[in-house]
Amino acid sequence: MPGKAKRKYDGELMRFNKKIKRPLKLIKEILPQEYDQELIVQKFKYFYPNEWRIMEERYQLYFEKDNFLVKKGKKRRYRPLNAKDYLLNLPQVKGWLSQKGKLRHKDNFDLELQQQRLEKFKTKRIAKIKKFQAKIKKNKKKVQDIEPLYIDAFIAAYHQRGISTEGKVEIVNELIKYNSEKINEFFYKLNDAERNDQIRIMAFKHLQLLGKYVKLRKKFKGKKKYYMTEKSDFNMTPIDLWERISNDNIQNKKVFDVFISHSLINKDIVNKVIKSLNNQNLNAYCDWLSDNDFLKRKLVSDYTKMVLKKRLEQSKSLLLLKSNESLNSEWVSFELDYFKSLEKPIYYIGLDDCKNNRLNSYEKLDYNFDEYYISKLNIKSENN
C-alpha cells in the first residue's frame, strides 16, 4: 500500500487531471482533419501556456524529490512523467490518437465549423493569456530578474544555528526582491520543510506571486513548539538598518553593480532601467526597492544618509537618471558628491526629452558604460 506522501501525490494528480478536462475538450474541437501527437502538444502549449508551464514545473519538482530520495538510499516514490509524456498518456488524448479515434474524428469533421470554432477560441484564449501575463508582470514589477552575488552568504546565514525568527524574516524579505533559479529552489525548500508558519507562508506566497507551481505545506502535526508559532512584524527603521550594518550583519555582504540615482518624480522609468540592467546581468540598487523594509520616507534622518553612503560604497558604479528634477534634488547631489569622493565611475541617461517619462528609443542615451560593465544600455519604451 502506498505511503501517505504518495497518496497525496496521487490525489493531487487526479485533481489536476480533472482540471484540464475542459481545456482538452476545447483543443479537440479545433483539431484539423488530420493530426498527430506533435500537433496536439503544439496546440496545447500555444493555447494553454500556463497549464503547460505548471506541468513542466510539477515534473521538475517531483523529479528532484525522487532524486533526493535516491541519494538518501531510498526508492523513488513519485516517478513523474515529463509534460509531453503526461499529456500524451492521458486517457482522452490516447483515445484521440488511436486508429478508431482518428477515423471517428475524420468522419465527423466539418471544416467550416472547425474554422469558426478555431477563430472564436483563439480570440478568447489570447485575451486570457495576455491578462494572466499582465498580472504576473505587475507582480514582478518590484522584483529583479537576477541572482545577486551574495545569495550564498544569505542562505548560509539562514541556516546558522541560533538564528532568530526575526533574522529569518529579514533574509526572506531580502530574497523576495529577486527572481532566480537558486532563490526559487530555496523558497520551495522553505515551503516544504520550514516549521515556522509565518516564514513558510511567506515562501509560498512569493512563489505563487511569480506564477510558479507551488502547494502550501500544511502545518506540522504534533505539539507546537514556540519557534513554530513565533512571529515577527519586522517593523524596521533606518536606525535598525544602520545598526545591522555597524554590527557586521548580512547587510554588509551586499554588492551592487549599479546604484541608481534619481528623482522620485522619475520613478516610473526606474523599473524599466532596472529590467534593462538585469537583462545584461547587472544587479541594481534603488533605495525604495532594495531597502524598502528599512528606508521609509516618513522616517528620513541622518541615519538614512549613513545607510546610503554604505550602499554607495557597496556599488561598483553610479547611474544618474538625469532630468531637471534630479539635478535639483538635494539627495541626488549628496549621492553624486559622495560617489565622486570614492573615485568610482559615474554615468547618466538624459531624460529631459522623454515625453511622459518614457524612453522612446535607444538613441536617448547620453553616456554608455565602458567595456568593464557594458557596451550599451538597451532601454526600450513600453510601446516597443
What is the set of active-site residues?
335
Residue with cell 520550514: 194
Residue with cell 474524428: 105
Integer-rounded Cα Rg, in Å, for the chain is 26
Cα separation, 48 vs 68, in Å, equals 31
DSSP 329: -
Cα separation, 132 vs 138, in Å, equals 10
Please answer whether residues 217 and 188 qualify as being in contact, where contact means their C-beta atoms are separated by less than 8 angstroms: no
Residue 27 phi/psi, 5-degree rounding, is -65, -40
Residue type, 258: V
Cα separation, 127 vs 125, in Å, equals 5
Q: What are the Cα distances from residue 225, in Å, to 196, 204, 230, 323?
A: 9, 21, 9, 55
Cα separation, 97 vs 94, in Å, equals 5
Find, among 252, 236, 254, the residue nearest to 303 by Cα: 236
Residue 136 phi/psi, 5-degree rounding, is -65, -40
Q: List the grid coordinates of 353.
A: 526629452
Find, among 374, 259, 361, the residue nearest to 316 by Cα: 259
Q: What are the Cα distances from residue 117, in Å, to 113, 136, 374?
A: 6, 28, 49
Residue type, 33: Q
Cα separation, 306 vs 159, in Å, equals 29
